[in-house]
Structure 1
Amino acid sequence: MASTNKSKVLRIEPLECKDARWATLVKTTYTDPEGVERTWESSKRLTRPAGSDIDGVGVVAILQDPSKPHDDPRILLQKQWRPPIDATVIEVPAGLIDPNETAEQCAIRELKEETGYMGKVVDDGFGASPIMFNDPGFCNTNLRMIHVTVDMSLHENQNPQPSLEDNEFIETFSVPFKDLWVECKKFEKAGYAIDARVGTLAEGVECARRWKLF
């Protein structure tokens, strides 16, 4: 279960807003319900394309083989070290949206680039989630979760080869979707950080089981 990533933080130093490429700090002045003027400090993304309503996507990729209908569906996950928290994080495939790209197109592209898998967006109205804000008290970053199926019987998914950028070091793996909560607890115990998207998915699966929603 241990990650092979050997990255480490060398130093942390202040960053002037004028030098920021990806995000900046802003101070918002507003009035509360009683008319009192207040201020709020937060971070703002600098990468959202003009005309886009989201910064990026997360991909819920479910691996299934139609020739094995009784096998449990598996969810595709990744291990990726993240400098802000100096830890290897358990994540779903994700990425920033390109100009003139739909959320669905972004998801299929990022899935192929990061994992090598070719997927298909679910087309029954469940393909894209509502817009979600990761931490609205701190940052305006948002995304849609895109639900994708990966047909493991297809030739192109037999030996997937990612096309990672030179600063990306990603380990891809999968776990049974029904066991995601238990797996997250194991990863946490082993010293990994859990991305909120993965943790929320795991919690949803566990809630559905415990309260017998289906």
Structure 2
Amino acid sequence: MEESNRKEERIRGEVLFKGRMLRLERDAVRLPNGLETSREVIRHPGAVAIIALQDQQVLMVRQYRYAIAQETLEIPAGKLDPNETPEACAQRELREETGYRGTLEHISTFYTTPGFTDEVMHLFSARDLVWDPLAPDDDEFIGVEKIPWDEAVQKAQRSEFNDAKTILGILLVQGRIG
């Protein structure tokens, strides 16, 4: 089937919820076969994630994630502010979450969950890290851990991280340096 035959047309929409990080919309759409249905979409400003490498180790953050009611061990990440470039956001988030800044390289840009959100994630690697901390956000309680790079790759390959951006980021960077 050609792409034009799969496109869904927005007929009308409504905002169900607007918060500080996301907006939930419900749209009426016309399907390729002419039928009408609804789609619920979470609108998100976009985010960054950073593989920060120092002395054959990767800097990771441990934090409690309310949505899943557990702590996770993840790569540093955060939401884009209005009019902020992904690179500026990555540098800011790296400094806020780990205390370091570094030389950034763009690795990939991808949709996190295109079935229900338009969130796009910009993945960077960071090297040549220098201590240059920013104050963390008031609602973040983060612990920084250094994991040997080879161990992090093995954990990603064995699905021992429960965060998709962390697994993908490690494996994509490993593909560039491994």
Deviation string for 1:157-187 (max 9, x for gaps)?
3xx7562122111111122223224335889
Letter aligned with residue 83 of structure 2 = N
1:41 aligns with 2:24: no
User: 1:194 — aligned with what?
Assistant: 162
**8 Å Cα contact 1:103/1:146 also seen in 2:** no
Amino acid at match of 1:100: N
Question: Partner of 1:11 in structure 2?
Answer: none
Q: 1:130-141 maps to which residues of 2 (within 5 A)?
A: 130-141=108-119
AA of the residue aligned to 2:141 = F
Specify the alignment match of 1:61 in structure 2: 52
Matches of 2:23 and 2:80, distance apart in 1? 19
* CA deviation string 1:167-210 (max 9, x = no partner): 1111111222232243358894xxxx62111122345578x6xx
Q: In structure 1, what residue type is equivalent to 2:127? A: T
Inter-CA distance 202–103: structure 2 relative to 1 (3 Å threshold): closer
Per the alignment, residue 166 of structure 1 pairs with: 138
Please list, as runs of the form range in 1=range in 2, the aligned pairs for 1:113-152 lying within 5 A after superposition: 113-121=96-104, 127-151=105-129
Query: CA, structure 1 residues 184+109, in 2 after alignment: closer, same or farther (shift >3 Å)?
Result: same
CA contact (8 A) 1:89 1:194 kept: yes
Supply the RMSD in Å over aligned alpha carbons: 2.9
C-alpha distance in 1 between matches for 2:109 and 2:157: 27
TM-score if structure 2 supplies the norm length? 0.75
Q: Secondary structure at the match of 1:98?
A: coil
TM-score by length of 1: 0.64
Relative to 1, partners in 2 of residues 1:18 and 1:118: Cα closer, same or farther, differing over 3 Å? closer
Note if contact 2:156-2:171 (Cα within 8 Å) is conserved in structure 1.
no
SS at match of 1:194: coil
Partner AA of 2:70 in structure 1: A
- Report how many residues are paired: 162
**From 66, 79, 87, the counterpart of 1:96:** 79
- Identical pairs, percent: 28
Using the TM superposition, name which of 82-91 and 177-186 deviates more.
177-186
Q: Hey, which of these two has a bigger chunk of strand by percent?
A: 2
Structure 1's 30 and 172: CA in aligned 2 closer, same or farther, altered over 3 A?
A: same
Distance 1:24 1:101, change over 3 A: closer
